[in-house]
Amino acid sequence: MDKDTFLALCEELKQNGGLKSTTRVTVEEKVAIFLKTIGHANDFRDIAERFQHSTTTISKYFDKVLKVVVKLANKIIVPDCIGAIDGVHIDASVPTAEQIPYRGRKATTNQTVVCVCSFDMLFTFVVAGWEGTTNDARILSETVSNPDNKFPMPPRGTYYCLYINKSHVIIY
């Protein structure tokens, strides 16, 4: 998540969710604790070490942010949006002669996997095997345009939300 998006999320949680800073922990730190915990599957001990707070404090503020996010779920999960699309790089074993297009930014060989996920946390579509240097937008465009891929186009009046190159894109 980039800085502007993070700050906008914090502002949303303050203005519409009632999340408040305390004398020791700002809203931004509370949200960072929450995001770090859910985004990286860290336990509270790891998070406590990273943020230099007790595990009790980490647990307390994680719970507070979670309650605010749940309270705002109907606003955050927009009506008619049936899921989200995102891509991820996954390490891949590739024969030496074919490795160059699979080399990612960190000089490891990887493939790009693009997934569609419903708000029930179910994968509804996965396309894998693309070279690690391939842009998510290209993968999505070629996947959607090829009927052999059986991409689940959203029903009329609904859409998927995705984030490509720092821009939100909606596919109808």
Both tokens of 141, joined, read 């465009």
Q: What count of Cα atoms within 13 Å lies in the side-chain half-sphere of residue 133?
A: 7
Q: Which helix (H) or strand (E) segment is 140 a member of?
A: helix 136-145
- What is the average pLDDT score of the chain? 87
Provide the edge-to-edge strand list for the sheet that holds 123-131. Answer: 123-131, 110-118, 81-91, 159-164, 167-171
pLDDT of residue 28: 98
pLDDT of residue 168: 53
Give me the phi and psi of 135, to 5 degrees please.
Answer: -70, 140
Judged against a pLDDT cut of 60, whether residue 165 lies above it is answered with no
Question: Directed axis angle between helix 55-71 and helix 44-51, to 10°?
Answer: 100
Query: pLDDT band at 14, cuts 50/70/90?
Result: very high
Task: Pick 2 or 116 by higher pLDDT.
Answer: 116
